């Protein structure tokens, strides 16, 4: 979702050898910056003179936040997130042969069901069942023609993926819990920043984010 909101890096690339960058010191670029995005996207990046940063973003259902420190070395400004966030994860809680039709439940740790969890279930005959959960889970329409062999789960808003999970024979009931851990805290370690007179560009794995400067901070 976020990647679709970011402009292609090639359109935003700034030269690190430009005179403006060569003369930039921490007091020059320390400040508060707002994302140049659409009406449904709001984000702020704060670079403090003490070497720390704060970041947040709201884009539809997606919330992100991050904090840590920035470093300047070899003419390049980089971010280090501290402490490193623990990513969310799907944890298997039950795989059972009970039941005639295939059933999948994905819950929060408090037991509340989660709607909108994408899944792919691979069968022994090569077929792949695809769909998504409701708050009360998902249930197949009838008897399976072949045995389930693996399952993949995904939460699309925050891009949480389970990887492929192998299933033992004759499974009909699958239950998982989504552990939020540090959900919404994003790790920007390794992200780089290019500074210009009126703003900066944050380069991260998902793409480039152009920010305009709105104020100075100590």
> pLDDT digit string (tens) for 128-156?
999 999 999 999 988 888 999 999 999 99
Q: What is the pLDDT of residue 197?
A: 76
Q: What is the pLDDT of residue 12?
A: 36
Q: Are 100 and 143 in contact (CB under 8 A)?
A: yes
Report the candidate in 184, 102, 171 with the shortest Cα–Cα distance to residue 143.
102
Residue where the block lists tokens 């295939």: 102
Q: Which residues of the chain have pLDDT under 70?
A: 1-27, 217-218
Q: What is the pLDDT of residue 216?
A: 76
In whole angstroms, what is the distance from residue 68 CA to residue 82 CA?
4
CA 178 to chain centre: 15
Q: Are 102 and 139 in contact (CB under 8 A)?
A: yes
Q: Are 146 and 124 in contact (CB under 8 A)?
A: yes
In whole angstroms, what is the distance from residue 197 CA to residue 99 CA?
65
Which domains are present in the chain?
Answer: 2-84+184-216 (2.40.128.500), 89-179 (2.60.40.10)
Q: What is the pLDDT of residue 195?
A: 86
Report the candidate in 123, 89, 122 with the shortest Cα–Cα distance to residue 106.
89
Q: What is the pLDDT of residue 74?
A: 77
**Which two tokens mark 175?**
């239950």
**Which two tokens mark 166?**
């192998």
In DSSP terms, which residues pair with 210 in a beta bridge?
201
Q: What is the pLDDT of residue 3?
A: 45
Give the β-pairing of 173-179 and 103-107: parallel
In whole angstroms, what is the distance from residue 211 CA to residue 103 CA?
46
Q: Is 113 helix (H, G, I), strand (E, B) or coil?
A: strand
């Amino acid at each position: 979702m976020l990647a679709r909101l970011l402009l292609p890096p090639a359109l935003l690339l700034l030269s690190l050898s430009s005179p403006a960058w060569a003369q930039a010191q921490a007091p020059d670029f320390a400040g508060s910056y707002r994302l140049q995005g659409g009406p449904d996207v709001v984000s702020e990046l704060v670079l403090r003179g003490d070497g720390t940063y704060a970041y947040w973003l709201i884009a539809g259902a997606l919330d992100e936040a991050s904090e840590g420190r920035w470093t300047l070395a070899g003419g390049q400004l980089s971010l280090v997130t501290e402490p490193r966030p623990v990513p969310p994860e799907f944890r298997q809680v039950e795989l059972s042969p009970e039941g005639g039709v295939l059933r999948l439940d994905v819950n929060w740790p408090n037991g509340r069901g989660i709607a909108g969890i994408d899944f792919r279930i691979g069968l022994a005959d090569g077929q792949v069942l695809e769909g998504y959960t409701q708050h009360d889970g998902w249930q197949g329409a009838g008897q399976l023609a072949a045995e389930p062999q693996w399952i993949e789960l995904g939460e699309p808003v925050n891009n949480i993926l389970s990887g492929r999970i192998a299933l033992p024979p004759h499974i009909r009931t699958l239950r998982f819990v989504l552990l939020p851990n540090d959900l919404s805290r994003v790790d920007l370690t390794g992200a780089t920043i290019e500074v210009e007179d009126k703003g900066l560009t944050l380069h991260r794995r998902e793409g480039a984010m152009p920010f305009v400067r709105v104020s100075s901070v100590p």
